[in-house]
Structure 1
Amino acid sequence: MQVGYLHGGGPDGDIVSAVAALEAFGCGRVVIDSRARRQAGSGTSFSALLGDMRSGDILVVTTLEHLATAVGPLVLRLEELVARGIRIRTLDGDFDTETPGTAGALKALARIAAHHNGARRPVVGRAEHGPGRPPRLSPEEIGRARELFEAGGRTAAEVARQLGVSRATLYRSLRKLGPTGA
């Protein structure tokens, strides 16, 4: 079974022409998934559509953006469909999971998504610090800065320069660590 899928709203003219293109492409069924249609009881959600599809079926979309708007969710959705034996095609023929080039593109997309998700993990070798940038100075470096101050004779600018940070970063790091370094 070849099923066409459209997600989102847009002007009704766009939907009408997209449905006509999917039907001309050979889709026996075209599903339009939009919040307004689902709330009115006349639309079908993507998960309901997936429940109806079986291995060997073909899902046709006008563009991949109809499956997801971000790379990570798109890769997950494509991998889920391929694992279930469902072929995915775009109307323009640029994407078809049956072609070797698309299999390579899907692997590349998965690597991009993994890299993107990996970029949000803490820097290796640093303690987990929560959201935001990792600290510029490790607790050991902050302890060293504190020792240099306590030994006397060094200005904040000199200590910061020696550690390769700005004075503001040095003061902020010392303040976060507290007066005793614990």
Structure 2
Amino acid sequence: MYVGYARTSTVEQQAGHEAQLRDLQSQGCEKVFSEQVSSVNAKRTELERAVEFVREGDILVVTRLDRLARSVGDLLQIVSRLEAKKVGLKILDMAIDTTSPTGRLLLNLVGAIAQFEREIMIARQREGIAKAKAQHKFRGRAPTARRKTSDVVSMHRAGKKPTDIAKALGVGRSSVYRILAEAA
């Protein structure tokens, strides 16, 4: 059985959502799980339902890799869960079908290349930061809590609790404790 999964990040992406549903139905998906939720922070309940729903011999179909996984690690975890259930994965835009040895190879290659690209990007970022630090152009993120030292101290003297101070000023509670310790 072909089981589809469609996802867009926002409700405003209705055309993209409808296109995914259309493509999944044209591939013969008998059941489609669909959600409109960001993959970054939100829990993808329909993806979980789809993975729980599929049975041995089924194929989970997605239109694009980024509709399924947040990262290479996330992809590998999802694929591992599917493999444990003897379920295949088909990614339409890449023509990858993990029910064949070639499809599994392609998926591993794509995952390895994505991981490689990420590591190269991080290495370049580190080099850039090191160079900027050497030229005294990189100072890091401005310390937001330390700029509010006088507010933290005055609110504490007025009888406010550290948790309330942190909420009121939008800083971490540990920052409030650190500022109060330094002020003492």
TM-score (norm 2): 0.51
State the 1:12 CA deviation: 0.9
Contact 1:32 1:44 (C-alpha < 8 Å) held by counterparts: no
Contact 1:3 1:28 (C-alpha < 8 Å) held by counterparts: yes
Q: Provide the aligned length of Structure 1 versus Structure 2.
A: 116
- Which amino acid in 2 is paired with 1:2? Y
Q: How many angstroms apart in 1 are the aligned matches of 2:109 and 2:84?
A: 17
The residue matched to 1:7 in structure 2 has which SS? strand
State the 1:109 CA deviation: 5.5
Q: Which ranges in structure 2 are unaligned for 5 or more consecutive residues?
A: 39-43, 120-125, 127-133, 135-184
Corresponding residue to 1:28 among 15, 27, 30? 30
1:17-166 map, 5 Å: 17-35=19-37, 45-92=46-93, 94-108=95-109
**Counterpart in the other structure of 1:13:** 15
Contact 2:3 2:50 (C-alpha < 8 Å) held by counterparts: no
- Which amino acid in 2 is paired with 1:13? A
Q: How many angstroms apart in 2 are the aligned matches of 1:80 and 1:109?
A: 18
- Which segments of structure 1 move beyond 6 Å, counting only runs of 4 or more? 112-116
State the 1:35 CA deviation: 3.5
Q: How many angstroms apart in 2 are the aligned matches of 1:113 and 1:91?
A: 18
Q: How many angstroms apart in 1 are the aligned matches of 2:63 and 2:95?
A: 10
Contact 1:87 1:97 (C-alpha < 8 Å) held by counterparts: yes
Structure with more of its chain in helix, by fraction: 2
State the 1:29 CA deviation: 1.5
State the 1:85 CA deviation: 0.7
- Which amino acid in 1 is paired with 2:56? S
Contact 1:8 1:66 (C-alpha < 8 Å) held by counterparts: yes
Contact 1:63 1:90 (C-alpha < 8 Å) held by counterparts: yes
State the 1:102 CA deviation: 2.1
State the 1:113 CA deviation: 8.2
Contact 2:2 2:28 (C-alpha < 8 Å) held by counterparts: yes
Change (3 A) 1:107 1:92: closer
Q: How many angstroms apart in 2 are the aligned matches of 1:81 and 1:75?
A: 10
RMSD across aligned positions (CA) = 3.2
The residue matched to 1:3 in structure 2 has which SS? strand
Contact 2:96 2:107 (C-alpha < 8 Å) held by counterparts: no
Contact 1:75 1:106 (C-alpha < 8 Å) held by counterparts: no
Change (3 A) 1:107 1:35: closer
- Which amino acid in 2 is paired with 1:46? L
Name the larger-Rg structure: 1
